Amino acid sequence: MNALAQVPLAPMLPVLFVVATVVFVLQMARHLRIFAAAQPVVFSDQPETRLRSVFVYSLAQVRMFRDLGPGLGHAAIFWGFVILVVGTADHVTLGLVHSIIAWPLDGWLWRLLLPVQNILAVSVLGSVAYMLFRRVVVRPRRLTLSRDGWTILLLIGAVVGTELLAEAFQIGRYGDPDAAWSIVATPLGNALSSVLPSGAMELGFDVSLWASVILVCYFLVYLPRSKHLHIVTAIFNAFLRKVRPRGELPAMDLEAETARFGVKTIEDLGWKDLLDGFTCTECGRCQDACPAWATGKPLNPKTMIMGLREMAVGAEAGMSLLPWIKPASPAPGLTQPIVDTAIPFDAVWDCVTCGACVEACPVLIEHVDKIVGLRRNLVLEESRFPAELTSSFNAMERYGNPWSQPASARLDWTRGLPFEVPTAASVAAAGPSAVSELECLYWVGCAAAFDDRNKRVARAVVTCLEAAGVSYAVLGQEESCTGDPARRMGNEYVFQMLAKGNIATLDRYKPRTIVTACPHCFNTLGNEYGQLGGHYEVVHHSTFLSRLVEEGRLRPDRADARTMTYHDSCYLARYNGVIADPRSVLGSVPGIELREMEKNGRGGFCCGAGGGRMWMEEDRGTRINAERTRQALETGAQGVATACPFCLVMLRDGLADAPDGQGKDILAQDIAEILAASLPPGGHNGRMLPVLTSPG
């Protein structure tokens, strides 16, 4: 007997479900109309990577498991809900789904589904209880229990609970030939029927079945307005994720006369940015990872994304649910500035573009590109930026470097070396292709050319190159800033000016490989110059040096008996995945014992200098470099190694300012300095090497 047919007003079950589905679709269509008002974005590249992302991040939810307890709870709820939808579909089709699934294989498919559904129903109920416990009792800082959060968790629990009860009442009252497979519902139904009369069992079945269908319908109507819409959008967000290099900011056409520069309103965002907003689960993992938030600054990547979603939803409020009814006037939310609505002005400038938020986000939301988009608009259209940036912009525009130094000083760091550092111009005198025949072009970078501390790093790099017998040259006066700080501060005009000049120079010499000790130059030359036609093989010095050691061309043999911790540069490790090479260089030096900080590799913590912050005052909250130095000191290491000129300066300053003089005997050094100092004294591979003094 089909028990579903006995339920009062049974024919209304499918009708109610169809009405709820129509309301769901209309609300989703209204979201799509807001997407249509945003900028077009086309996704046609790397379909395999995109599909893999759906499996890895959306179905297997690998990022959720970085926090094991919540990860398991979330996976149970997600998969439980997916499988339990089959039961709901069976109810609203009055048993049709059961008949279809049971039809092949003589009913075995249905029988196998029953215990899975039963186990998942219990897992979902347990997970909902755990989630509520975390939010009400444990209360991690990153989580907030909003009314929406309560509503959804209770709804999920109620839908699954009423479905399980309906199955139990049905088995207990009407029986079921497959009852043995319902490993939870059958004992529950038997227990209920042993204490309740048959009339109460029938009533229990009717009420729980109707309740489960009403709750599912309410869920459908409610979902498009909830953060739990990510159940639907996360799959699309994973497919449409950024698959280009993480460190590549979106290209910008400065010649487009009618275009708005950067992002001012949600209309200026791409529709994928709005999808990001509708996908945010409010989990707060980005907030937890953000160094600006951790040091008490107003920037919170979570509230920025939530703010963008609220603006989009606000813009929808002026639209009718029915697409054929046009609004009398454009939705005001569409033209409202994002800055000071979704994110405060100061917070836009607090970002160090470290990418920790993007790395932490389980649903692959891109925060950094949006923040830089806002900066572009503030700089290029409104001239609203921190006052101290004016001198940096002017310096880059006039002198080609943020230090305001003349190009003639670019080789000052070579003074006192016992060998001559060849320039590309001098090498090219031997013939037009002479530079391209060299093993590498050493891209020194502005920091190593003009900052006294980093000049020592440049000397160490060429010492290693000389020692290994590498044929190389530097650009000297022909080198300019890559434009990385200008680009990340939103000044695309200065970036493109510098980049085009450098590309013209590089294209003239056609170097085989560019080696640089600066992760920012490395990222910009390798990942961003392609947008302007410059395509080069760029290698970070950590990779190049580790190869030289591996090939036996460098043989460090002077012991350096120290415990050292290594600080990962965001633009090296997180953005470009260079994690093992600097550690391998350190590991090649006899005596060094590496002690990792808790936050390392892709999960490293910024030094505070990225995103142009090197040239801005840090007057909100505490200093980011002080926090990173505290983490380094926590390891008890006797030295701090880096592979980035900016990290080096920030950590050196952090150690100098550490409370109670804790950092006074600890040196911050670049890996090239440590390696060069461990090479045999007085010469290596027959070459004369300089005596490298301690930076003190």
Give residues in contact with ligand SF4 (CB under 6 A): 280-286, 289-292, 299, 301-302, 305, 351-357, 360-361, 363, 365, 367-368
Among 481, 439, 444, which residue's Cα sits nearest to residue 462?
A: 444
Round to whole Å and give the CA distance between 594 and 641.
10
229: tokens are: 């819409």
- The tokens describing 237, both together, are 């967000």
Q: How far is the CB of 371 from ligand SF4 (least distance, A)?
A: 6
Q: How far is the CA of 670 from the CAs of 88, 649, 677, in angstroms?
A: 61, 10, 11
Would you call 524 helix, strand, or coil by DSSP? helix
DSSP state of 567: P
Task: For residue 637, give both structure tokens.
Answer: 């290491």
CB of residue 628 to ligand SF4, shortest distance in Å: 13
Q: What are the tokens at 603?
A: 């999960």
- Give the shortest CB-288-to-ligand SF4 separation in angstroms: 8
| Distance, CA of 296 to CA of 276 (rounded, Å) | 25
What is the Cα–Cα distance from 631 to 603, expressed in whole angstroms? Answer: 13
User: Smaller CB distance to ligand SF4: residue 30 or 367?
Assistant: 367
Phi-psi region of 595 (alpha: psi -120 to 50; beta: other; left: phi over 0): beta
CB of 354 to ligand SF4, least distance (A): 4
Query: Looking up tokens 């000044």, which residue turns up?
Result: 491
Nearer to ligand SF4, 299 or 457 (CB): 299
Kindly tell me which of 10 and 304 has the beta carbon lying closer to ligand SF4: 304
Q: Which of 206, 279, 340 is CA-nearest to residue 57?
A: 279
Closer CB to ligand SF4, 247 or 663, in the complex: 247
Tokens of 586: 């350190």
Tokens read off for 454: 């980093």
- Which helix or strand (DSSP H or E) is residue 538 part of? strand 538-540
For the bound state, the minimum distance from the C-beta of residue 282 to ligand SF4, rounded and expressed in Å, comes to 5
What are the respective helix, strand and coil percentages of the chain, to the nearest 5? Answer: 60, 5, 35
What is the closest distance, in whole angstroms, from the C-beta atom of residue 219 to ligand SF4 in the complex?
Answer: 20
Q: Following DSSP, what letter does each residue of 455-479 receive, concatenated?
A: HHHHHHHHHHHHHHT--EEE-GGG-
Q: Of 74 and 652, which has the nearer Cβ to ligand SF4?
A: 74
C-alpha span between 605 and 160 (Å, rounded): 41
**Encoded tokens for 18:** 């169809």
* Pick 282 or 478: Cβ nearer ligand SF4: 282
Nearest approach, Cβ of 66 to ligand SF4 (angstroms)?
A: 11
Looking at the Cβ atoms of 206 and 282, the one nearer to ligand SF4 is: 282
Question: Cβ–Cβ contacts within 10 Å for residue 475, how many?
Answer: 23
Q: Residue 185 or 374: which CB sits closer to ligand SF4? A: 374
How near is the Cβ of 26 to ligand SF4 at its closest, in Å? 26
Closest contact distance (angstroms) between CB of 294 and ligand SF4 is 9
SS (H, E, C) 313-377: HHHHCCCCCCCCCCCCCCCHHHCCCCECCCECHHHHHHCCCCCHHHHHCCCCCCCHHHHHHHHHH
- Residue 213 sits at φ, ψ, to 5 deg, of -70, -40
Q: Report in angstroms how near the CB of residue 372 gets to ligand SF4 at its nearest.
A: 10
Provide, rounded to whole angstroms, the least separation between the CB of residue 60 and ligand SF4.
17
The nearer residue to ligand SF4, 295 or 565, going by C-beta atoms, is: 295
Query: How far does Cα 388 stand from its chain's mean position?
Result: 29
Query: In the complex, what is the shortest distance from the CB of residue 76 to ligand SF4, in angstroms, rounded to a whole number?
Result: 19
424, 475 Cβ separation under 8 angstroms: yes
To ligand SF4, the closest distance from the beta carbon of 361 in angstroms equals 3
Both tokens of 198, joined, read 């048959």
- When the beta carbons of 355 and 400 are compared against ligand SF4, the nearer one is 355
Nearer to ligand SF4, 302 or 567 (CB): 302
At its nearest, how many Å lie between ligand SF4 and the CB of residue 375? 11
Radius of gyration of the chain (CA): 31
Q: Which amino acid type is present at position 78?
A: F
**Closest to ligand SF4 by CB, 306 or 411:** 306
Give whichever of 281 and 678 is closer to ligand SF4, judged by the CB atom.
281
SS3 assignment, position 229: helix
Distance CA 395, CA 401 (A): 6
Please say which residue, 371 or 564, places its beta carbon nearer to ligand SF4: 371
Q: Which is nearer to ligand SF4, 285 or 540 (CB)?
A: 285
Residue 385, CB half-sphere, CA atoms under 13 Å: how many?
A: 26
Please state the closest distance from residue 448 (CB atom) to ligand SF4, in A. Answer: 25
Question: Which of 268, 499, 248 shows the shortest CA–CA distance to 380?
Answer: 268
Secondary structure element (H or E) that encloses residue 208, with its range: helix 198-222
